[in-house]
């Protein structure tokens, strides 16, 4: 029993060092620890949003592709900086892509974006135990800096397919929301 407890403590320390709230591996490992240790509750989700948009409505916008963070409209860049607490690295720039944090490097990197008058749909990546690609929806009409939806891509989307996949509604079949219970089998 001491070996099992020691192993769980080491696992918990590893997760504390390498996992992030945004990383599904962290959520799965935390769930495993909760079950193993008999804890009563999991940590809060990565993003708690009061509004779940109808994703099909978001798909109806007339989107333009943005391939560089530096090309984002000012309001979208400001939303991201306020929400993330930092500026994302641009495509191809270095960022903290592993468990070993390098000071002065962002913890996330812009991948691609789709912008219309009402919405900004941004794909970005974070590091940690393993790299993961996230998708967020930002409502450009409001002052709220939190995304109104946040998920992770369970299937990759090529850059040239991002906007067509979004507009067809197929993007939502390739993502899992952080606001839904995490399901490994999905």
Contact 126, 134 (CB under 8 A): yes
Torsion of CA 80, 21, 134, 49, to 10 degrees: -60
Q: Tokens for 39, please give them.
A: 């804890």
pLDDT of residue 91: 93
pLDDT 10s digits, 148-159: 889 999 888 999
Residues lower than pLDDT 70 in the chain: 1-53, 179-186
pLDDT, position 2? 55
pLDDT of residue 154: 86
Which residues does residue 176 pair with via DSSP β-bridges, in sequence order? 152
Question: Do 70 and 90 form a contact (C-beta atoms < 8 A)?
Answer: yes
The residue length of the chain stands at: 186
pTM of the model: 0.69
At residue 162, the pLDDT reads 96
- Furthest-apart CA atoms within the chain: distance in Å: 59
Q: The dihedral of CA 14, 18, 19, 20: what is its sign? A: positive
Q: Which long-range contacts (CB under 8 A, 24 or more apart) does 26-31 make?
A: 26/128, 26/129, 27/182, 28/182, 28/184, 31/182
């Amino acid at each position: 029993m001491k070996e099992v407890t020691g192993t769980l403590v080491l696992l918990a320390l590893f997760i504390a060092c390498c996992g992030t709230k945004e990383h599904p591996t962290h959520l799965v490992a935390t769930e495993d620890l909760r079950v193993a240790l008999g804890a009563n509750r999991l940590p809060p989700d990565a993003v708690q949003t009061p509004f779940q948009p109808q994703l099909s409505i978001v798909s109806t916008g007339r989107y333009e592709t943005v391939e560089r963070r530096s090309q984002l409209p000012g309001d979208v860049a400001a939303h991201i900086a306020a929400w993330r607490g930092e500026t994302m690295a641009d495509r191809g720039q270095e960022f903290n892509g592993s468990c070993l944090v390098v000071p002065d490097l962002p913890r996330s990197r812009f991948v691609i974006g789709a912008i219309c008058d009402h919405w900004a749909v941004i794909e970005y990546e974070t590091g940690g135990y393993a790299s993961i690609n996230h998708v967020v929806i930002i409502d450009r009409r409001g002052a709220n800096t939190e995304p109104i939806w946040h998920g992770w891509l369970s299937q990759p989307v090529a850059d040239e397919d991002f906007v067509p996949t979004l507009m067809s509604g197929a993007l939502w079949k390739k993502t899992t929301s952080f606001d839904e219970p995490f399901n490994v089998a999905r």
